[in-house]
Amino acid sequence: MASKAAIATVICVMFLAGSSVSYPLHASCDVQWRFGISCADVMAKIVAQINAWQGSSGCAQGGEKCLYSLQSSSSSSIAAKHETPVRHYIDDLTFTADSPTADSCAVHGHSASKVWYSIMDYGTNYCNLANLITGSGLDRVSGYSETTSNKVCTQFTSADCTLY
């Protein structure tokens, strides 16, 4: 069991690290996307990609396009988990459809490490989300756009989604 002093030290380090960089205090990522197709189509494509990358077979080529698991889905939200293949860390993912119309959809994506002390992640939480979008081909639909930044997405600008 960790001592109170050790826990206090970790919390102080997390606070100081968070105040000296423009990243979230906990390894996580928020992304906003726009697509020129219906939310029903967007959500179906994301669910299909999560299901396609459930097992460990996608890990064999390197990268982390594997070990996703669908927790729940509806017409406006998806909850999933992603396990990193090497260290087996678990990240929680959500996709929420906002302002749907017949021919466009805005989606908010969120990924967060379940490890409470995780501060930096080399862009893993961004890649958890972005890999599903690119894997499903949603980055190639008309009207596609993506908005995020280091301020809301840990190490976004240094993310290498061929690795994570």
Is 17 a residue whose pLDDT tops 90? no
Residues 55 and 70: beta-carbon distance below 8 Å: no
* Cβ-proximal residues to 85 (8 Å cutoff; 6+ apart), any chain: 56, 59, 64, 66, 67
Of the ranges 19-23, 35-39, 66-70, which one carries the lowest mean pLDDT score? 19-23
The Cα angle at residue 105 between residues 101 and 108, in degrees rounded to 5: 135
Query: Which tokens hold the place of 15?
Result: 């606070």
Q: What is the pLDDT of residue 18?
A: 47
Q: In terms of residue numbers, what domain contains 71?
A: 4-158
What is the number of helices (H) and of strands (E) in the chain? 3, 6
> Dihedral sign, CA of 33, 129, 96, 110?
negative
Residue 133 covered by a domain: yes
List pLDDT tens digits, range 115-145.
Answer: 988 999 999 999 999 999 999 999 999 999 9
Residue 91 covered by a domain: yes
Q: What is the pLDDT of residue 13?
A: 53
Question: How far is residue 106's CA from residue 97's CA, in Å, rounded to a whole number?
Answer: 6
pTM confidence score = 0.85
Domains in the chain: how many in total? 1
CATH number of the CATH domain containing 68: 3.30.310.80
Residue 131 covered by a domain: yes
Residue 163 covered by a domain: no
What number of other Cβ atoms are within 10 A of residue 46's Cβ?
A: 25
Residue 164 covered by a domain: no
